[in-house]
Amino acid sequence: MRTINEIIIHCSATKEGNKISAATIDKWHKDRGWRCIGYHYVVRIDGSIEYGRPVQDIGAHVKGRNKHSIGVCYIGGLDADMEPKDTRTRDQKESLLYLLKTLKRLHPDATIHGHREFANKACPCFDANKEYCNI
């Protein structure tokens, strides 16, 4: 098993209400030449949690930080005008909290971050470090 030091939250950078799935993201990533989806978990707008890349496999979600991290992506992140927005539904917020608490129990030394902490991006379109600092 890999040593996990970070849990990194992403958004799919899709319009609010767009009901895509892990399978859709898997196709996008394969179209980019990757072997499969880069995230380990995907939280759909109804709050359901889908598996992406197996956790024992190194992800492809933050350049230079994949070896010791888990990537979690929620569906959304853009408003109708394609501008960054925290579009998480109540169900997504509940599921993200549940998933992050579970991952922290499994990897107690891991810290939680938003993608934007490591790249010049708005992703995940909210301050993940601040929101989840007490987990």
Domains held by the chain: number = 1
Q: Catalytic residue numbers?
A: 10, 39, 115, 121, 123
Indicate the burial class of 13 (C-beta count within 10 angstroms; 0-12, 13-18, 19 or more). Answer: middle
Helices (H), the chain: 22-31, 90-106, 128-131
CATH number at residue 63: 3.40.80.10
Query: Mean pLDDT over all residues of the chain?
Result: 96
Question: Does some domain include residue 134?
Answer: no
pTM: 0.96
Does any domain span residue 1? no
Q: Looking at the predicted structure, is the pLDDT value of residue 1 above 90?
A: no
User: Parallel, antiparallel, or unpaired for β 41-43 and 49-51?
Assistant: antiparallel
Write down the pLDDT at residue 44: 98
